[in-house]
Structure 1
Amino acid sequence: MRSWILIPADNEKALGAAAAAGADAVVIDLARPLPLAQQAAARTDAADWLRSHREQLVAHRRFERWVRIPGLDTPHWREDLDAAMAGSPHGIVLTHCRGTEDIRQLASVLYEIEDRLGLAANITRIVPQLGSSPACALALGRLADELHPRVAALTWDAVALARAIGARRLRGPGGRWSDPLAQVRGQLLLIAHAKAVGAIEYPYREVRDTDAGLRIAEAARADGFTGMFAIHPSQVAGINSAFAPVESEVSEAMKIVSAFATNPGASILTVGDRRVGPADLAHAKRLLGED
């Protein structure tokens, strides 16, 4: 999926417009800190929205329904998760994910909730938001050895990391990420491709500068990201355009999928002048929308 739009759960107007944003995934955001009374109302609104958009029979463009929850080190994450699961979302974006143990714990709780609600086991996927502190950033490498099968993609939190290290900027000359942030971003990207899952770029915060937003989305795609978050509907079209596959990519993906379909059980095949394996097949299917 190319475009993921974050929608504040406490913003009634934004919730009402979310389905028409044109994004591949609408992510209802319960992770934003709110007063307790407002957070309770936001949970109810999020669950109602998820239920009301579960069936998209008349929608001109189908989209997935996700929910973003706070980290497992916060006091009310379970209440947020329970509210989200009442609307049977496609998946959960976990903020401030500290590593494999957080993912494993969330997966275990999801299994219990799925069983209680009568949902298919393991149907709810996870996108961990990684690298939000120096300790989390240094633990990233462990994901390359062990990544839970529920994980559909990886993403990161540039602002949280910058705050954690006292950085005064996100980007340096030419719009390039500052060195510590670039290191986390690059490592996440490599792990995602090594594990054949999606890599979702951090959103561009200056929503009024659409030209710069498009350039940044194009740069993320050129670097190997498979999608990008938006924080406003005006950003979605640019992200969809930037991440749309070109003809040569579609052609090569079709050849890879066809080769493995013709040779079931094969682990390595030659397609053109390339040796391709399971990760290449997963990437090809994702590009063709078959994942």
Structure 2
Amino acid sequence: MPVSARPRRSVLYIPGCRARALEKARRLAADALIFDLEDAAPPEEKENARTLVADAVSEGGYGARELIVRINGLDTEWGAADLATAAVAGPDAILIPKVESPEMIAAVAAGMSAAPAKTAIWAMMETPRGVLSAAAIAASHPRLVCLVMGTNDLVKELRATHVPGRAPVAAALGHCLLAARAEGLVAIDGVCNAFRDETLLREECEAGRAMGFDGKTLIHPGQIAIANEVFGPSAEALAEAKEQLAAYEATVAKGGGVAVVNGRIVENLHVETARRLLAEAEAIRRLEDGAN
């Protein structure tokens, strides 16, 4: 399944067992919403959450926002029913927790016969075995389009500590990003737990953007604005992209192959980046127009 250019700057987890949260999400500025049947739904609420989420997806009303359902693992008592119900509801994607092998992707794909063709698979990368198998997982199935970092579980499994700069999980972040990009997949960074600490959130978003992640998973609506700002192209970057593209096209029209803008060489690789940024800005504009 080809990966679209749609924005995933802000990817907000919504507890599937909370009807008011599902309703409020229709008015939030997040690019994507993960309706969570796993961690955010306690055992006694699993079946109710499944029904609420399926109804919300079927009813719609979320504009152009991307809708993802995180199911419980197929090795749990709820997973099979979650998958069957989500497939019929037809969200944009089904998110699999704790993916550790290509076989786990294949098992979910096999249970999606009732899902429309648009419904993709997203995979949570949150265990050491999953990270070590990231390349094989990323290449495993045409429906798989996105790797999502589950840094909380990963820190737990590593027996590491949450620290500013996230050094304990830096290798895992980089490894999964490489695996995603090798197969042309989207890669979404893990959450920032200190949802009231805007400075820390901005630092994590800036670091994730610098690494190459497409966006960040969020746990609170108050985090959306910063994620959208940091992971979206800045006005300065867009102005530079337009200048580079114009200079390069003028040079090519004269039979040249390398332009110079502000004392810097502009060649094919810079032009490709410029075009990607401009396409990203246009996709954000379309999403925001369609979300209201």
TM-score range, shorter chain: 0.7 to 0.9
User: For residues 150 and 249 of structure 1, do their structure 2 counterparts lie closer, same or farther at Cα, with a shift above 3 Å needed?
Assistant: farther
**Long gaps (5+) in structure 1:** 260-268
Q: Report the 3-state secondary structure (helix = DSSP H, G, I; strand = E; otherwise coil) of the residue aligned with 1:86.
A: helix
Q: 2:167 is matched with which residue?
A: 178
User: For residues 48 and 97 of structure 1, do their structure 2 counterparts lie closer, same or farther at Cα, with a shift above 3 Å needed?
Assistant: same
Offset of residue 45 of structure 1? 0.8
Q: Within 1, Cα distance between the matches of 2:227 and 2:272?
A: 27
Q: Report the 3-state secondary structure (helix = DSSP H, G, I; strand = E; otherwise coil) of the residue aligned with 1:19.
A: helix
Say which of 112, 119, 122 aligns to 1:127.
122
Say which of 214, 223, 242 aligns to 1:226.
214
Q: 2:114 is matched with which residue?
A: 113
User: For residues 33 and 13 of structure 1, do their structure 2 counterparts lie closer, same or farther at Cα, with a shift above 3 Å needed?
Assistant: closer
Q: 2:52 is matched with which residue?
A: 45
Read off the aligned partner of 1:86 and give its amino acid letter. V
> What TM-score, normalized to structure 1?
0.78
Runs (4 or more) in structure 1 with deviation over 6 Å come to 276-284
Offset of residue 194 of structure 1? 2.0
Q: 2:99 is matched with which residue?
A: 97
User: For residues 283 and 246 of structure 1, do their structure 2 counterparts lie closer, same or farther at Cα, with a shift above 3 Å needed?
Assistant: closer
Matches within 5 A, 1:211-250: 211-247=199-235, 250=238
User: For residues 106 and 248 of structure 1, do their structure 2 counterparts lie closer, same or farther at Cα, with a shift above 3 Å needed?
Assistant: farther
Question: Do the aligned partners of 1:195 and 1:279 also contact (CA within 8 Å) in 2?
Answer: no
RMSD: 3.1
Q: Within 1, Cα distance between the matches of 2:146 and 2:258?
A: 27
Q: 2:21 is matched with which residue?
A: 14
**Long gaps (5+) in structure 2:** 1-7, 250-256, 260-265, 285-292
Question: Do the aligned partners of 1:92 and 1:124 also contact (CA within 8 Å) in 2?
Answer: yes
Say which of 22, 25, 30 aligns to 1:23.
30
Read off the aligned partner of 1:176 and give its amino acid letter. G
Question: Do the aligned partners of 2:70 and 2:96 also contact (CA within 8 Å) in 1?
Answer: yes
Q: Report the 3-state secondary structure (helix = DSSP H, G, I; strand = E; otherwise coil) of the residue aligned with 1:65.
A: strand
Q: 2:153 is matched with which residue?
A: 160
Offset of residue 277 of structure 1? 11
Q: 2:177 is matched with which residue?
A: 189
Which protein has the larger Cα radius of gyration, Structure 1 or Structure 2?
Answer: 2
Greater RCO structure (CA 8 Å; 6+ sep): 2
What number of residue pairs does the alignment pair up?
Answer: 262
Offset of residue 283 of structure 1? 8.4
Q: Within 2, Cα distance between the matches of 1:33 and 1:232?
A: 13
Q: Within 2, Cα distance between the matches of 1:161 and 1:14?
A: 27
User: For residues 282 and 92 of structure 1, do their structure 2 counterparts lie closer, same or farther at Cα, with a shift above 3 Å needed?
Assistant: farther
Q: 1:201 is matched with which residue?
A: 189
